Structure 1
Amino acid sequence: MCIKTLGLIQLKASHTSKNICAEIKSILTDFSISRKQVYTITTDNGRNMIKAVELLNNDSEDEEEVAEDLDDDGLLKDLKIYSIRSIKCAAHTLQLAVKDFFQRHEYASFINKARKIVTLLRTPAYRYLITEESLPQPILDVATRWNSTYSMLSQLKNFEDFCERRLKCLMKLTTTEWDDLKRLVTTLEPAYTATIKLQSVELFMGDFYKLSASLKGKLAS
């Protein structure tokens, strides 16, 4: 498999499906690539991206070629000569599912409390104490970074004893909450591993189906 980057552009206009479609067509034109040569386009799940692919299909560049191929009875009139298939990024789709899981009320409030503790641990005073005890620096999650919430919670597990000794009572997790944290990390680990594998340079359809079946099995158990 040979991967080439044809364009990496800054879209200064509004990120509408129409503008995105125009940029794609411009890049294809620059490299003399016909839309008949494009079989699939992989995007995230944004409606503007999906709509842009639809516009590429609807805006035919080959009307004259199609007309030449029509017989006297117009038998090919309703035949779609080419069609670009929209493929949704599997890793992005998985992250949306994980995000929906986080937004469930019982998890949202708990994760928010854990996030506040991590934010406190990242202040200068606590960072000094953490360094003194040779602990890794805590990780704060970022909304747009895949797996960052898992990484934050997984790292926080290492601070159970530290938090019990150093934090004030109001900021501590209870014994039950620490147990919940460990269970949550265990539950999210298959999704974390799957996301890493889905970002491999070479991932074939067979690899994807194997990974999907494995993930479903682990989550079901």
Structure 2
Amino acid sequence: MTLLYVFPHPDDESFGPAPAIARQVREGHDVALLTLTKGGATKVRHDLGLSVEEMGARREQETQCAADALGADLTVLDFPDGGLQDLDPRDLEHVIERKIEAVRPDVVVTYDYHGNSVHPDHVVTHAVVKRAYEAACDEMAGRSPRRLAFFTLVQGEVADNPAGLRGSPRERVGAVVTFADEDRQTAEAALACYETYAAVVEAHQPLRQVEDGVAFVLFQEEHDEPLGSLTDDLHDEG
């Protein structure tokens, strides 16, 4: 099956979802990654003495390294980092919908409504991906994605939370993707690509937040128990 992850920034795919992505690729699924910005406006650039453009170029290279480590097909766009809330959301929705049409994923993945953090780009991305998913379902009869999943942390279970991370209530979680040691090692290799963020990775240890599995909310789905993967209960239509 095919999964499409849509996130606003380089490293979003590695700060949590990476072990699930590694498992999905290992199991033979195709994974595409759409990153909406180059992430150049990060405050980390000041420590490195880089302009927004220079930092964006560095982070684009790093996210390509991470995608290669994970085995995902990457597309990086150049919407303004930190400025998604100021755009016409229809412009973002149109681009995401076109990507869905091109990739034809079975599953689309993005952040839950709170974005796991206070960053407005995360919150905007949740909203525009949901709209694009619904539009694709309306327009792509017989070829539309069959599941929308929101990567999340679990409320009240965030370990050592200096960044003020947010989560979703445990009862909203519809899938928990556990992973093997080799998937964690792949995720660590992806994280290691972010040399400009090495201090951030060291300080926050993002993979600690998903040690018991990567949690996802499943849009408009209810299950008695969380599914074990994002492709469970989806029959391959060939």
Q: TM-score range by the shorter chain?
A: under 0.3
User: More strand per residue: 1 or 2?
Assistant: 2
Higher Cα radius of gyration: 1
TM-score (norm 1): 0.22
User: More helix per residue: 1 or 2?
Assistant: 1
TM-score (norm 2): 0.21
The structure with higher relative contact order (CA 8 Å, sep 6+) is: 2
